[in-house]
A and B are shown apart, each in its own frame.
Chain A
Amino acid sequence: MILTRWRNMTTQERRDAKTGYLALSPWMVGFAVFFAFPILATFYFSLTQWTLVDPPVWVGLANYARMFTRDPLFLSSLKATTLFVVLSLPLKLVLGLMLALLLNLKIPGMNVFRTVFFIPAVISGVAVSLMWIWFLNPDTGVVNTLLHYVGVQGPYWFWDKDWALPSVAIMSIWKVGGAAIIYLAGLQNIPAHLYEAAEIDGAGKWRRFWRITLPLLTPTLFFQLIIELIDAFKIFTEAFVITKGGPLKATYFFLYYFYEEAFRNFNMGYASALALFLLVVIMGCTVLVYRTSGRWVYYEN
């Protein structure tokens, strides 16, 4: 079919097509080398037992059988990751939007605030984790010290089995400035005349937010939802630096389990199976969100 189309093209069309493909080729090569091949290789390795330094040994579906039938850590890590997604995702979406609304106010020096709030988004995750260890130290941390001043005994945060996961979720708010900047771009694309017309019609601030801002911001919200969803499933650094998956596996996230299997347990075959499972979960969630988008995302065109 492609060949038939090619034959039916004029010389100019063929020349245009060649130019198009040439322009696309860097991306196509990059996609093939850095995405398609690694994914295919991961699939192959997931069917093997591989210690990284010795040749892989074909084991068929044994890794998947272990994962779904007799690996309690698989379930623990899946549970911890899902809980984290459920806790952190709404928090980041809502707070990001609230921060963007504040940063959209027309007051002097706003660019300074925007820069300040964006900085955490570009700081190394390890540095941020180390800082939060200090913030949330039960004995000497700033949070518990402030709570102590108001007569509240703060929890053990990362070192408490019930608080460890919420602590990591709270910590993820730190990077909300990055999301706020995207929301801000969306906010600034909303035509000012809509607000002016609504104001003339007597609509209050709250009504304008619900009837204009939020509907017109839904494409940005949709984008943020997908990005934050994927980001939340990839939670790793906090567990690696702060909690080591504990206490009592409360923060034993999926990628941390993957890391331990691959690089501490030299079980790259099984780690590959875990990675593919996570890929399927993320793709499934993304497709689900995408399917619902027709009902709540508003595109002017």
Chain B
Amino acid sequence: MKHLIGRRALVLVSLLLLLLGSVGGAGAQDPVTITWWTLASAESPEPAIRAVVEAFEAEHPNIKVDVTIMAESAYGDLMNTTIGAGEGAPDIAYFWETPWLPHTLDITDRLEADPDLSRDDYFEEYFNNWAVYNGRVVGLPFTVGANFVMYNKDVFDEAGVDYPTADWTPWEYIEIATALTDPDKRRWGGDRPRGPFRAIWRNIGATKPYSDDSATVEGYINGPDAVAAYTWLWDLVDSGATPTPADIEVLGTEGTGPVDLFIAGRLGMATLNNGHMITAANAGVNFGVVPEPHVPDNERFVHAWALRASIWAGTEHPDEAYEFLSFWAGPEGQRINMEIGALMPSLPAVLEDYPDAEADYFQGFMGVLNATQTAEWRATHPCWRGAVIRAVSDAWDLIMLGEIERDEVQATLDAMVEPGQAALDECVPRLGG
């Protein structure tokens, strides 16, 4: 009997070991699959996305990347739904909405421990504005975007006007635009800002719509700096040197800026972005790039943006997800996108290898990338974008439409305090300051 029990125990233990062995063996052999939701664009087209996956999987045979390339229109809904449900969200994705940020994995420690990648590898302003939220690293900045002024050298030469320089002021902008304007040729000297509190606003007295603690509108939206900025806009509109909002709307490209007017030589100067810059270069336009004008001795600001590549906090494979994130948004992945697509990487060491990097205009673009960014008003002030801008937009519209006199700017801004404060008070408890 004892013998029988001993034999049975032996068989049982052997089976158990065999089972455990097979499970362990399968775990070691089967690769982990992580999910990645992304979008295709001219900067990061589908072939570049596939090439990133292929290169990563070749380097990491134990990790498979299940990529889904989505339409932008569906992306937000799917992210909202899956994050809200707490299941089904991808391991890796762009987390561009502020309410999504609390649902990202904190990668501060992983990045610090990473021997191949560091926050210092990125443009500092882009990293601070797009990767850090409430003191924790919530992703990596993928690509760089910025606004700057492109000027058409041929138009300047024809009008006999000197090219602008980096130290120009907002008032010089109006003077130059006026000098370039030629109604007979249906040409405007420069365009208008397309929204308040972008760089030009901060560059005229560091204006902000409300206090840094997101508590007070009075004294900010109607403070002396804001009045100066809105009065500058009034002067610009009054000069007749800029196209109307209707012209910009119609002749702009995909609502991003009047690059078509600029390329056609109907705009001497235009505040555009790096995508437009490449479009103009490909069209053979003879142009230069300078930062937006600012008040001398004040800090220079730039309106800039990046895509925030993050890991979902609910991922079951945080280590593998980080491996992929640091590859895709690190030097290798961004270089692949730069070479196959037209991505401008957020890593200076990689961006320096951009095909046009030596061109004058590109050097002008590189010059704005280290300026302080106004992106904070979108990146960490969710109430500005969603609620407050809407409440105070009448002041902007009234000036754009030429509905008020110059000496009415202060009173118009004073009238914005109450709706602005109400919008802020409603929003901050909900979305945070």
Contact = CB atoms under 8 A, between A and B. Distances in A.
Contacts of A158: 246
B244 A156 contact: yes
B114 to A, nearest CB: 28
Given A53-B83, A54-B99, A265 B249 contact: no
A160 B430 contact: no
Contact of B246 (A137, A161, A260, A263): A137
B398 A248 contact: yes
A201 to B, nearest CB: 56
A248 B386 contact: no
Contacts of A73: 390-391
B400 interface: yes
Interface string B223-265: 0000000000000000000001111011000000000000000
B386 A265 contact: yes
Interface string A253-267: 000000010011111
B112 to A, nearest CB: 28
Given A246-B397, A248-B401, A266-B97, A159 B431 contact: no
Q: Which of A66, A134, A137 has the most CB of B within 10 A?
A: A137
B247 A133 contact: no
A247 B397 contact: yes
A247 B401 contact: yes
Contacts of A245: 390
Nearest to B81: A52
Interface stretch (B54-62, B135-143, B419-427): B419-427
B394 A249 contact: yes
A284 to B, nearest CB: 28
A134 B250 contact: yes
Interface residues of A, number: 34
Nearest to A141: B250
A224 interface: no
A15 to B, nearest CB: 43
A196 interface: no
A53 B403 contact: no
Interface in A222-248: 242, 245-248
Given A70-B422, A248-B394, A248-B401, A53 B99 contact: yes
B246 A246 contact: no
Interface in A123-151: 133-134, 137-141
Interface string A65-105: 01000101100000000000000000000000000000000
18 contacts: A51-B430, A51-B431, A53-B80, A54-B84, A54-B102, A73-B391, A133-B249, A137-B246, A157-B246, A159-B245, A159-B249, A160-B401, A245-B390, A248-B397, A248-B398, A249-B394, A264-B386, A266-B97
Given A138-B246, A139-B246, A248-B398, 8 more contacts: A53-B83, A53-B100, A73-B390, A133-B249, A133-B250, A157-B246, A160-B401, A266-B97
